[in-house]
Amino acid sequence: MFSLKLVVGTLEIGLMYAIMVLGVYLTFRILDYADLTVEGSFTLGAATAATLIFQGYNPWLATSIAFLVGFIAGIFTGIFHTKFKITALLSGILTMTALYSINLRVMGKANVSLLKARTIFSDFEKLPGMEKYGVLVLCSLTIVILGLLVYLFLNTEIGLALRATGDNELMIRSLGVNTDIMKILGLALSNGLVAFSGSFVAQNQQFADASMGIGMIVAGLASVIIGEVLVGTSSIARAIVAVICGGVIYRIIIAIVLQLGLEATDLKLLTAVIVLIALVTPGLKSKFTAFNGGILGKGDQYANSSKSN
């Protein structure tokens, strides 16, 4: 039932989506901002990379540009929210909606095929020893490097200010940080990563489609929560490992469910259910802990209850 090919394929996809999850983590957990831009910026990255590659540009350059356009999309959401004082959700929805039209403009049609086109994967597979698992190796390398970069960034002076912006805005403002700029920066980096992820997925499946970003935010949230529940969040490093694992595990769950005979069109329903369960479970867990009294230490209870929003 589970062939090696399927397992490897699932891991590849999981690692690609994990890049997106890393982006969602930056807004959802670090900035405490539920950013719906993701739905549009994922497609934007895919559409941009696919169109550029289709027109004969270097795929590595195209992938980098995908990050850049996602970054810019995030800046827009950030400006809507901070400068025009639009609520977090609505700012994201506005950018997402605008991006739907922009993505169609970028591609010029509803989808772009990359069949037989040169992609970062076809390039990488030409390297010695990479014929068979090139995609897996490239995706693993990418996520390790990106995870490390995010970790390093979150421990810089700017990174600390970004984390404090999501934690206690009043406090970090009183320490002289322009929190508007921090939010814009966080949203930009997040959507850059999401678009980067989109460009990977498009090159791997060899097409980009105007609707490929639909449901992406819920998938991202599901992955973040699954990872946090399974791996834990006691430190930044651990949280980053957790969300990456969450992204992969989410894809594994999807693959298993598909193998069990569910239709691909049922996936969105399934994802919503996963998120619902994941969101409710920590609450149940803390109730259970409270009921059981002293079995878990006080610190554990605290950690659980503080994360169970």
Partner 1 sequence: MLTVQNLTKIFNKGTINEKKALDHFSLELAPGDFVTVIGSNGAGKSSMMNAVAGVFLPDCGEILIDGQNITKWPSHKRAALISRVFQDPLSGTAASMTIEENLVMALRRGESRRLRWALNVNKRDYFRNELAKLGLGLEGRLTTKVKLLSGGQRQALTLLMATLQEPKLLLLDEHTAALDPKTAEKVLELTCKVAESSKLTTLMITHNLEQALSVGNRTIMMHEGRIVLDIRGIERNNMTIGRLLEMFEKASGVHMNNDRMMLAGTR
- Helix 179-205 × helix 134-154 angle, to 10°: 180
Query: Exactly one of 7, 61, 171, 284 binds partner 1 (CB under 8 A); which one?
Result: 171
Confirm or reject binding of residue 304 to partner 1 (CB under 8 A): no
Strand partners, 27: none
Query: Exactly one of 64, 101, 211, 306 binds partner 1 (CB under 8 A); which one?
Result: 306
Q: Which of residues 124-153 bind partner 1 (CB under 8 A)?
A: 152-153
Query: Exactly one of 39, 95, 163, 255 binds partner 1 (CB under 8 A); which one?
Result: 163
Confirm or reject binding of residue 296 to partner 1 (CB under 8 A): no
Confirm or reject binding of residue 168 to partner 1 (CB under 8 A): yes
Query: Exactly one of 173, 262, 272, 296 binds partner 1 (CB under 8 A); which one?
Result: 173
Rounded CA Rg of the chain:
20
Confirm or reject binding of residue 159 to partner 1 (CB under 8 A): yes
Alpha-carbon span 265 to 168, nearest angstrom: 41
Tokens coding 270 = 């399934």
Stretch that binds partner 1, among 59-67, 111-119, 170-178, 190-198 (CB under 8 A): 170-178
Stretch that binds partner 1, among 142-150, 175-183, 196-204, 219-227 (CB under 8 A): 175-183
Alpha-carbon span 11 to 135, nearest angstrom: 10
Q: How far is the CB of 235 from partner 1 (least distance, A)?
A: 9
Confirm or reject binding of residue 155 to partner 1 (CB under 8 A): yes
* Amino acid found at 41: S
Confirm or reject binding of residue 164 to partner 1 (CB under 8 A): yes
Nearest CA among 64, 76, 21 for reference residue 225: 21
Using CA atoms, how far residue 225 sits from 164, 244, 246, 296, in Å, is 21, 11, 7, 21
Q: Please tell me whether residue 285 adopts helix, strand or coil conformation.
A: helix
Contacts of 92 (CB under 8 A, 6+ apart): 34, 35, 36, 37, 38, 77
Q: Which is nearer to partner 1, 97 or 306 (CB)?
A: 306
Confirm or reject binding of residue 172 to partner 1 (CB under 8 A): yes
Q: How far is the CB of 163 from partner 1 (least distance, A)?
A: 6
Confirm or reject binding of residue 3 to partner 1 (CB under 8 A): no
Interface with partner 1: number of residues (CB under 8 A): 26
Give the DSSP per-residue string, 247-279: HHHHHHHHHHHHHTT--GGGHHHHHHHHHHHHH
Confirm or reject binding of residue 178 to partner 1 (CB under 8 A): yes
Q: Please tell me whether residue 176 adopts helix, strand or coil conformation.
A: coil
Confirm or reject binding of residue 292 to partner 1 (CB under 8 A): no
Confirm or reject binding of residue 299 to partner 1 (CB under 8 A): yes
Whether the Cβ atoms of residue 8 and residue 136 lie closer than 8 Å to each other = yes
| Residues near partner 1 (CB under 8 A) | 152-153, 155-161, 163-164, 167-168, 170-179, 299, 302, 306
